[in-house]
Amino acid sequence: MRRTSFAEMPCSVARTLEVIGEWWTMLVIREAFNGVRRFDEFHSRLGIARNVLAARLQRLVEHGVLERRQYQDRPPRCEYRLTEKGRDLYPVLVAMLAWGDKWMAGPEGPPVTLIHSCGHALGSHLVCSSCGEPVDPRQIRPQYNIAKTSSAVADADA
């Protein structure tokens, strides 16, 4: 059954999910950040069915997250590289990694540590860029910018 599209929802989370929310997609993106560019390498590292991988890569190209470049003519071979739009997904990946490290790691601890060019581990915590304080979600309120949001949301808020 075809999934509901989130593409037209008046919500940036939903629209992001429309691009990255299919099963396997964030792992494909993880590999792209690891420097993987060629189909066969994505395939061997992920252990994903070839047709599923092809579909995920194609969708990411369509959404401008990856760009496809041909590097060989005979036979034709392409590589897939993150665009600026794709690189901007890094905070999403880092946030998922941090949560998984904290809540889903086994007794052996986090599988991978990200090391920044400063030489230290990339710490990950949410800070307000205006006041510099750590952010607790209970300190946040949403301001709705669009006059006409979905009727369900408007009714629920009334």
Site for a copy of itself in 88-147 (CB under 8 A): 88-105, 108-118, 120-131, 133, 135-146
Q: Which of 102, 142, 107 is nearest to 125 (CA)?
A: 102
* Window 62 to 81, contacts with a copy of itself (CB under 8 A): none
Q: How far is the CB of 70 from a copy of itself (least distance, A)?
A: 22
| Residue number with CB closer to a copy of itself (68 or 124) | 124
Q: How far apart are CA 81 and CA 38, in angstroms?
A: 9
On whether the CB atoms of residues 95 and 122 are closer than 8 A, the answer is no
Amino acid at 137: P
Structure tokens at 97: 């990694």
Closest CA to 93 of 37, 19, 30, 14: 30
| Choice from 15, 37, 59, 81 touching a copy of itself (CB under 8 A) | 15
Indicate the residue among 73 and 156 with the shorter CB distance to a copy of itself.
156
Shorter beta-carbon distance to a copy of itself: residue 9 or 78: 9
Residues 20 to 49: which contact a copy of itself by CB under 8 A? 20-24, 26-27, 30, 33-34, 36, 41, 44-48
Residues sharing a CB contact under 8 Å with residue 32, sequence separation 6 or more, in sequence order: 66, 80, 81, 82, 86
Number of residues that bind a copy of itself (CB under 8 A): 92
- Burial of 68 from C-beta contacts in 10 A (0-12 / 13-18 / 19+): middle
Based on the shown chain and the rule CB under 8 A, indicate whether residue 19 belongs to the binding site for a copy of itself. yes
Q: Please identify, using beta-carbon distances, which residue of 73 and 112 lies nearer to a copy of itself.
A: 112
